[in-house]
């Protein structure tokens, strides 16, 4: 059993198949960007991208991504060059505590891969399901719209 993880093929050990994908990523592969938040797929802190779709890794069975293309925030930058969404996040000083932000960024990347020129309403609708207890929503909106001009 294997999947493509951040561009490289990796085996998924059989004893991990029934575990949440989030735990496989964090505990087996050491990719700790995606966070455990609510654990029931509501808050979005665990958001990653599977075959181009923003996906809650806490409620995704690890075995279900066999053969699929899994991307985490660790795979966004190319060498020292940040992904345009990451750069926009820095430019707009988006994070506060930071806990939700990897999930926010992955949701934004998935949006911009599907909608190249989103309106503010498109951004709000796409990002609505990713919760931020610090209320960084206005900066998230500004950063996504800014990133849309660079991707």
Chain residues in the site for ligand FES (CB under 6 A): 95-101, 132-134, 136
- For ligand FES, give the closer residue by CB, 14 or 135: 135
CA distance 75 to 24: 16
> Locate tokens 């075995």: which residue?
63
H or E element in which residue 11 lies: strand 8-11
Rounded to a whole number of angstroms, the minimum distance from the CB of residue 115 to ligand FES is 23
CA distance 109 to 102: 11
- For ligand FES, give the closer residue by CB, 100 or 112: 100
Rounded to a whole number of angstroms, the minimum distance from the CB of residue 54 to ligand FES is 16
DSSP string, 113-144: HH-SS--HHHHHHHHTTS--TT--HHHHHHHH
Rounded to a whole number of angstroms, the minimum distance from the CB of residue 16 to ligand FES is 28
- For ligand FES, give the closer residue by CB, 23 or 99: 99
- For ligand FES, give the closer residue by CB, 3 or 101: 101
Rounded to a whole number of angstroms, the minimum distance from the CB of residue 46 to ligand FES is 13
Chain Cα centroid distance, residue 46: 7
């Amino acid at each position: 059993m294997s999947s493509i993880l951040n561009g490289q093929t990796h085996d998924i050990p059989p004893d991990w198949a029934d575990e949440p994908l989030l735990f496989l990523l964090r505990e087996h592969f050491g990719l700790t960007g995606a966070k455990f938040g609510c654990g029931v797929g509501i808050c979005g802190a665990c958001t990653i991208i599977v075959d181009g779709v923003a996906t809650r890794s806490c409620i995704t069975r690890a075995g279900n991504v066999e053969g699929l293309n899994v991307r985490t925030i660790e795979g966004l930058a190319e060498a020292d060059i940040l992904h345009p969404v990451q750069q926009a996040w820095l430019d707009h000083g988006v994070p506060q505590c930071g806990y939700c932000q990897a999930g926010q960024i992955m949701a934004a990347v998935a949006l911009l891969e599907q909608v190249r020129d989103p309106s503010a309403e498109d951004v709000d609708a796409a990002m609505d399901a990713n919760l931020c207890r610090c209320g960084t929503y206005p900066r998230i909106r500004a950063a996504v719209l800014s990133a849309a001009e660079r991707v």
